[in-house]
A and B are shown apart, each in its own frame.
Chain A
Amino acid sequence: MPGRTFRCGERFNEALKIAYDRLVNKTGVKASFLIQLDPLHGDSSTINEGLIGAVRRDMISLDNPSFEKFRLKLEADEAEEILKHVRGGHELYKQLVKDFLNEYSEAGSAAATAI
């Protein structure tokens, strides 16, 4: 969904970590990387570098002035085309995205309730 924005903060990292853990535990996928959030700062080098890679690959853009939000630039057809070639099959990635979005929106609702 091009134009959709995300805030790359703790909520984002935690949602991604949960989705990743669920994928690994549920499907038994042997990932070649780990996502482990920094215990003090709550971020992850794997996630950070993934985002940097996505910026470099023109899939997302970081928004001025805070650069904390990023905007999806990938069109649906481009995403489908990329998914055709991913290792492990596109279903795996679609599930990962689904889990991530569920977690991300749940975390958002919880934060909103807390406020």
Chain B
Amino acid sequence: MHSRRRAGLSGLARWADAFSKASLGGYLRRLECGSIKASAREINDPVWSTISLSPFESLFIDSPLFQRLRRIRQLGVVHWVYPGALHTRFEHSIGTLHQVQQLIDSINRSAPGSINIEYTTLLRFAALCHDLGHGSTSHVSEKALSRRSEVSSILLEFGQKEKIERPALAEVVAYFLIGSPAFIQLFQYARAACSSITPGPDSIEQVKNIVVGRIVDPKMPLLQELISGPFDADKLDYMQRDAFMAGVPAITDVPRLVRKVRAVAVSEAQLPKRFTTTIESTSGTYTLFGLAQSGARTLDELLIARVMLFDKIYRHHKVRSLEGMVCRLYDALCECYKGAKYEVPYIFSDDILLDLQTVLRDGRFDDSHPSFAVALELSSKLKQRDTYVRAFAFGKHFPELQHDESARIGMDRFIGDVEGDIEDNISQAIAEEVKKVARLLKQRPLLKKFKDTSLRSYIWIDPPSKTDHGKKVAHALLIGENSEIFRYSDHSVEVPNWSQGYLSKKDIGFIYCPEELKELVFLATEKLLAEKYSVSALNSAKVHFKVDKVSISEKREELRTKRFYNKLAHSLRPTPPRLLAIDAKDTCEAVLSKLYGHSPPISNPGEKQIYPLTADRIIRWLGQFENNADITSALTLIQSIQLVGRLSYVTAVKNFIERNRKFESATIVPLGDARDSGSTVAYLVGDLGLNISSLTQALDDRQPLIFVDDFIGSGEQASDIVRSWFSKSAGVQNHEGPRMELSPSQQNKLRERPVSFVFASGWTSGAARLKTECSDLQFFVETDIGINEDSVPSIDSVADIPAEFKERCRSIGKQLLQSTNRSWPVQRYEERALGYGNKGLLVTFPFNTPTQTLTCIWSEGAYNGFRWMPLLPRRKKK
């Protein structure tokens, strides 16, 4: 029944004809010779009790094409999780017939004669036919096959031709089976054999239309929706049946919903506006079906029940794992099948799919193809319920993503890529990483036990669902007491969207694999997400799957030593084990507390998220050091960083005045221009109650002056400022434009009063140089430093800092300066690798960090080719 020449939609149609003929051939011969007698029967159903079937329906049900449905489970793989859910498409189809009869009876009770006997038999027949096109494992095989381009292109072709948006494979196959010559013959024989009422002669085309959801009768535009619509017989049966068989409570009051179904005759003018764009104008009235307004609540229940079924059964994580395995099994079977791939689900029943060992060797499959052995392996695994497990979880709503824009965009891209990954590129990429990880961890023998050497068959990525849960139900019409019509979606706006929102937020993506590969797949996926999508450390996702933290941590460390993570930016590398120790977090919290009030510069005023210093930022900075010994040293080092802030500024000036009473009524003047840090210091020193003024204003009175600034290093910059006042600038390189000059009279005024320079911190040699420079200008001043070099911490003053770590800091600093100041003379990188003056200070100010501080603390740039994140960023000079 397979042929290499069949392709495209016409190939599928021809195959359906052949499949139908092969299935029905013997049965048709028996019907023809009259050996089968038609008789009505009653079937006992566990959900709906007694179901009556007409002779025509009995004949049809007994046909091999319908009996095939006994061997196709309604829920595919769910019975491996809910053992009772063994029901098949067979009983569901009969249940759908029963439910459509209930709907018809209810409609006719409220509006007698609305659905006549011809349409009744038609709808009953359509109910029996609606699932005829399912292959083994129902929607699971459909999902597996639809991922293959040769099948998806056929579905697209059918959709374009028949103007159906998203035809499912089972619908398309049913459509062609029903239209096949053998099926038509069955229909005709069955009609001829039955003296009772049977579907009309046009029923074949009508059933085909109903199966794909097309309007059957413009005068009754919602007739087909009794089979597939907002409150259709299909849904009313499967929701109750699935819940009942799985042993899960069902909350929909189906009998009440059915009782509330109504028919209403309306004129053309009363039709909903949208209907008038589709339905041709005819004389007379139209019949619409809806629910009595008083029954709207049963639709709410229907939606809520559907949410529960999705949450508990259809999207159960183990069900999704089994579906993934079955999809991979179909992938392997399709690869080695000689005919058209869409035929594969129609070759086996569900049970035979688990026992392929003998069945596969019938010539239809290429047993020399590598996928043949993979199919047998997966079939055997399923039979033993050796299922795939969750190795990774992903989604858009994890808390870590909320404050990390690049990770949020990266995760978005990942989900989008997974959804559109028909070629399975992402599974393949993870598989390649798994091989690398296995090689580095010397676990390659583990991989040899798997038949698929590409490993792709053992990795299944199941993204979060985007199934439309509420819209179809929201299409329902409600009918008021005076036959007025309105939409359920207008009456109950919240429930359809609430149910959708609940599942959208709750449903997350998983990556499944065999238990033995779990840790390798986790490590491989973690790396892939960091490298390609800038997503790292989804710690909150780890509650959704089980990996041994200690084992993963050990493996990460081993991989780190083997440079597995070296291509990743530091921030994307896994947290080093040293930083997972309890004392690391405690130390970071203590440092955070010590530096409270530090407010780093905003590098990009447009940025949405301004990152203050946080424990997490400290951890990330520390994580940039490459080994545990350096991280330990860095932890020690940062505890000595001193924030020279408001208190230090005020104290420095206060102490100076106490020692120099002539400055009690001094005016505070910021050293330098408005752009310099002296302005901020002067403002804060204002806490002492002294006047604060600019230099030019201060010169207008006769008060002593105290110039203030936060730091003095070599004294070069401060000296240059003073020389500028006296028009004697020595031309110190100044990136920020010319300095202020004073007029001769202002210079005299400055020389005539007591003047002091007070720095919150700095070097005494710098202050001494400043004093000398001033003397040379006949400008006699006092200088003072609040915290001098004896008290300012530096890398050399911290105990237990090994020389190797200092060298590491020097190397990092040099690279950072080289990457950010490309035009410097070579010597300057060496001179400033540990900060300006190479003293490696450990000091910062509330709004900036001086260049004298250890370079790797404040500088951005690149280290070993990757972006370095500074701990205390410094404002960039223009």
Is A44 touching B165 in the complex (CB atoms < 8 A)? yes
| Contact flag A40-B278 (CB < 8 Å), given A49-B467, A58-B408 | yes
Q: Is B215 an interface residue (CB 8 A)?
A: yes
Q: Is B420 an interface residue (CB 8 A)?
A: yes
A109 neighbours in B (Cβ, 8 Å): none
Select one of A33, A59, A67 contacting B494, CB under 8 A.
Answer: A67
Is A34 touching B160 in the complex (CB atoms < 8 A)? yes
A45 neighbours in B (Cβ, 8 Å): 165-166, 468, 471
Q: Is A28 an interface residue (CB 8 A)?
A: no
**Nearest Cβ on chain A to B409's Cβ, whole angstroms:** 5
A43 neighbours in B (Cβ, 8 Å): 471, 475
Is A62 touching B501 in the complex (CB atoms < 8 A)? yes
Chain A 48-76, CB within 8 Å of chain B: the 1/0 string? Answer: 11001101111100100111100000010
Q: Count the A residues whose beta carbon is within 8 Å of the partner chain — how many?
A: 36
Is A34 touching B165 in the complex (CB atoms < 8 A)? yes
A52 neighbours in B (Cβ, 8 Å): 466-468, 500, 504
Residue of B nearest to A43 (CB): B471
Is B274 touching A40 in the complex (CB atoms < 8 A)? yes
Interface members, chain A 18-41 (any B CB < 8 Å): 32-41
Q: Of A33, A40, A78, A81, which is in contact with the most chain B CB atoms at under 10 Å from its CB?
A: A40
Select one of A34, A39, A49 contacting B278, CB under 8 A.
Answer: A39
CA distance A33 to B466 in the complex (A): 15
CA distance A21 to B412 in the complex (A): 26
> How many residues of B sit at the interface, in one of the four size bands?
35 or more
CA distance A34 to B164 in the complex (A): 8
Interface members, chain B 496-520 (any A CB < 8 Å): 496-497, 500-501, 504-505, 507
Q: Of A10, A46, A85, which is in contact with the most chain B CB atoms at under 10 Å from its CB?
A: A85
Q: Is B222 an interface residue (CB 8 A)?
A: yes
Is A67 touching B468 in the complex (CB atoms < 8 A)? no
Chain B 34-57, CB within 8 Å of chain A: the 1/0 string? Answer: 000000000000000000000000
Q: Is A42 an interface residue (CB 8 A)?
A: yes
| Contact flag A82-B412 (CB < 8 Å), given A40-B274, A49-B466, A57-B396 | yes
Q: Is A87 an interface residue (CB 8 A)?
A: yes
CA distance A51 to B277 in the complex (A): 25
Is A32 touching B501 in the complex (CB atoms < 8 A)? no
Chain B 465-487, CB within 8 Å of chain A: the 1/0 string? Answer: 01110010001000000000000
B277 neighbours in A (Cβ, 8 Å): 42
A87 neighbours in B (Cβ, 8 Å): 420
B466 neighbours in A (Cβ, 8 Å): 49, 52-53, 56
Q: Is B163 an interface residue (CB 8 A)?
A: yes
Select one of A32, A56, A59, A67 contacting B464, CB under 8 A.
Answer: A56
**Nearest Cβ on chain B to A37's Cβ, whole angstroms:** 8
**Nearest Cβ on chain B to A47's Cβ, whole angstroms:** 9
Q: Is B590 an interface residue (CB 8 A)?
A: no
Residue of A nearest to B158 (CB): A34
A82 neighbours in B (Cβ, 8 Å): 409, 412-413, 416
Q: Which 9 pairs, one residue from A and one from B, show the smallest C-beta to C-beta distance?
A: A36-B165, A67-B497, A39-B278, A53-B466, A48-B468, A42-B274, A56-B504, A52-B466, A34-B159
Q: Provide a sorted-by-A list of 15 A–B residue pairs whose CB atoms are within 8 angstroms.
A: A10-B274, A32-B152, A32-B422, A34-B159, A40-B221, A40-B222, A40-B275, A40-B278, A41-B274, A42-B277, A46-B166, A52-B467, A56-B415, A65-B494, A81-B409
Inter-chain pairs besides A78-B408, A82-B413, A85-B417, 11 sampled, C-beta below 8 Å: A40-B222, A40-B275, A43-B471, A49-B466, A52-B466, A53-B419, A57-B415, A58-B397, A62-B497, A75-B608, A87-B420
